[in-house]
Amino acid sequence: MLQCLCVGYGRMVFYIFLDVYRKLERHKHVDYSKVSFMVKTMLKDGVYCVGVVDWNMRDFHGYVTSRGTSYNAYIVKDEKTVLVDTVKAPFVGELVGNISEIINLEELDYIIVNHVEMDHSSALPIVAKIAKNAKILSTQRGKEELVKHYGHAFDSVETIKSGDTLRLGKKTLKFLEAPMLHWPDSMMTYIEEDKILLPNDAFGQHFASSYRFDDEVDNHILMEEAAKYYANILMLFAPLITKKINEVITMGIPIDIIGPSHGIIWRKNPMQIIQAYLDWSSGAAVHDKVVIVFDTMWESTDKMARAIAAGICSQNVETKILKLRASNNTEAVTEILESKAVLAGSPTLNNGVFPTMGSFMTYITGLKPKDKLWGFFGSYGWGGGAVRGLMEMAKKASFEVYEPTLEIKWVPDETDLKKCFEFGQQFAQKLKSN
């Protein structure tokens, strides 16, 4: 038996290495200069977006990306030419093809790594081999992460810090470190003469489009995706975001265009997304709204949620009901972003929280939304446990918890549903008094 397992494991390792070898061989023989599926986009004279659109992306480590995404990289061409960021490895051919429309990659002078996360850097090892004369620049933490991700070939990366500049000719790049927005290595690159900010993951959206700029797409959809992106990726870092934006404002940096590394580029009104980030991170966008997030086994918790929502609405408070198996964590968190309160409901399964609700609580407690009132309800059969489990997770995350909770045994009757209605009324009154 052990011998069979060892043989099977050895065979698995062999095929993994064979797959890697074949991919490397394909890269070796492809003429990347002839591979381009997106026309280069000019932001200003000498500044181009050369990234790629990922139409099929539907999941970003648990964040549902229903509209796909893009991986934006930028060329700044002057006496010296710079590539700012790369793309996800499967799209390296398209990236190199797009760059080749502007410059021979072997003539590239610099590659700036704003952020090492693989959706922005996994094409870098191949790009660096082709652009063998280019110097690679990153923060000190970025260099450490590049070495850990891609090996000691990146020991020669040159490090930069906030305030450092790089003169290209007529254009000047200025660098601003932004640690934990959203990795320790994160950095922004600013093109001084063109007033263009390239902030990597900040101000982005997971939004695939044949258009590149904010004045070319539906603003409602754009802001919906921007809010979803902030809520599901950056909410945890709200205090740092407020601080960093205020730092940029204090520095008096004029901004005509923001070129994020995902989604649409802001050229019509970059202040719209800057103000939105300030509002989201400070809580200014929050209003009297309760999001009811629940799941159900035999509809008892569903009936409770509807009765509770009716009670909340009777107090002229906006309500949104989300059943998790008909929705997802991504949508729930996005709704919570601008809400003052959340009610979480779960049936008891095996003396504990229903799996989808457990997943939701793990997801939301990691994002740590600030200044929300949390309440809990649920149904059970011969024994409870779900509501207690939800409360324990919330308290451990230091959420503000409303008490009492509400639990109904088996199927709620008219008396039980009246209790649910009154529970909703009381919760809304508490919310309005906060």
Active site residue 229: yes
What is d(CA 397, CA 33) in angstroms, rounded to the nearest whole number? 51
Q: Which two tokens stand for residue 53?
A: 């659109």
Active site residue 262: yes
**Per annotation, catalytic residue among 94, 109, 119, 407:** 119
CB atoms within 10 A of CB 371: 11
Q: Which two tokens stand for residue 281?
A: 């991170």
Phi, psi of 195 (to 5 degrees): 55, 45
**Per annotation, catalytic residue among 54, 230, 262, 277:** 262
Q: Which two tokens stand for residue 336?
A: 């919570």
**Per annotation, catalytic residue among 85, 94, 109, 117:** 117
**Per annotation, catalytic residue among 48, 63, 229, 402:** 229
Active site residue 117: yes
DSSP designation for 229: H
**Per annotation, catalytic residue among 29, 61, 152, 220:** 61
CB atoms within 10 A of CB 19: 10
**Per annotation, catalytic residue among 71, 78, 109, 115:** 115
Q: Parallel, antiparallel, or unpaired for β 63-64 and 59-60?
A: antiparallel
Active site residue 45: no
**Per annotation, catalytic residue among 32, 63, 85, 182:** 182
What is d(CA 195, CA 201) in angstroms, rounded to the nearest whole number? 18
Question: ω before 220 within 30° of 0 (cis)?
Answer: no
Type of residue at 412 = P
Active site residue 61: yes
**Per annotation, catalytic residue among 85, 109, 201, 214:** 201
What are the C-alpha distances in Å from 7 to residues 1, 20, 403?
A: 10, 20, 58
Q: What is the DSSP string of 135-150?
A: EEEE-HHHHHHHHHHH
- Contact at 8 Å (CB) between 386 and 354? yes
Q: Which of 353, 377, 148, 331 has its CA nearest to residue 231?
A: 331
Active site residue 287: no
What is d(CA 15, CA 410) in angstroms, rounded to the nearest whole number? 53
CB atoms within 10 A of CB 5: 9
Terminal-residue alpha carbon distance, the chain: 64
- Contact at 8 Å (CB) between 231 and 333? yes
What are the C-alpha distances in Å from 295 to residues 349, 362, 424?
A: 11, 15, 17
DSSP designation for 232: I
Q: Parallel, antiparallel, or unpaired for β 47-49 and 41-44?
A: antiparallel
Q: What is the CA radius of gyration of the chain?
A: 25
Instruction: Spell out the alpha helix ranges (H) of 198-342.
Output: 219-229, 238-250, 270-282, 300-313, 329-337
Strands (E), 50-103: 52-54, 59-60, 63-64, 69-71, 74-77, 81-84
Which residues sit opposite 83 in a β-bridge?
75, 111
Catalytic residues: 61, 115, 117, 119, 182, 201, 229, 262
